[in-house]
Structure 1
């Protein structure tokens, strides 16, 4: 299975902007968290049996005034360069070359259109047997979820990885569907309906949180703490940023500073 990770250029005010509005995180801290989760996700894909394709948004698909800048080199870099730098720093040049990691720009005016164009192109033009779309904000994903989905997609034409709140962190396709408005809330139900309407079998991967909302970030931090307590591996980049920023979960649950 080819695993597509759609990545926005890591810019303050563009990535994880809702966290900067609803939690103690500043826009620059939300950007650091996004960089860390993206690094962990691409490393996990490379460690799995999947082939990594980084699908970046370029300047044409970004909204006007897409983020605050501080004049630093990363902020001045164009979108493709910023994404390539992030992934290269996470994997290293040797891994990029050994794994033949691909970078392709996203095409389309909406998220649904961009995902639909990518999936349809890879299935119909490049003849891939299956395509996975893995969100870069799901650092708790492990190779077992990716490889498990690759097995499940052999029995089902659509596989959905649920996230809390009716969202998805992972979607896999062996056949294209009608992608128009597939991310209408709740995403999970909408995607399942579109798959069923196309006459396709729909399977499911394990549920995992992302860090896209405060509730999900709370769940992710709790997951990090639980894995540490159990002596299990944790996503290193994400865990490091959470520790450096002093993030913790309080009653509510809400994000607080230690």
Structure 2
């Protein structure tokens, strides 16, 4: 009987300790969260509110996600995007403060799908000294191309004429797709010396579009998902392709 009573006291003590620990943790979390902007993290721990954030909207508007959150919580609010808790800022002054103090008070970071596809040693993702070195290499490359390409304006015109020519007998033209295609063909012409009607150009464009869909997707590495397909995109279309010299 005495042993059972001792066991009961032990159980009660453990329950009180666990309850007190939970209460302290809850209070500490609330105090910590109270320092953050108001917002809504969504109901799903992984998805959060990502689906609402990536929902398409006209380029002339902020979109339903931002408009509704700004009305409810203000220009700076808390959310859960791409698998991470996120502070979203639509305040111009605060955004300028962040950009002006990068690498001082703030460190650049991107959703997991971007470094997962691009890699961490790329110009967009790298920071600090590595970013400066990569930027110098990229600028020197484009400077060399610009100096040696005396017919740059002619290339722009030829790409535009070929694009307009392809519209013949076309009933509907989606402007954003055509603008993307024009910009891409100019870049490929200047860097890889490929023409707009070359088969390699079409293949690279198709891979590029797959790549871009992956950058705007949820980082789920499963067969058939946009993220997985973007990771598998080949960036060396043919071994005989060389940079323009």
Shared fold per TM-score greater than 0.5: no
Structure having the larger proportion of residues in strand: 1
Q: TM-score, normalised by structure 1?
A: 0.27
Structure having the larger proportion of residues in helix: 2
- Rg larger in structure: 2
Q: TM-score, normalised by structure 2?
A: 0.28
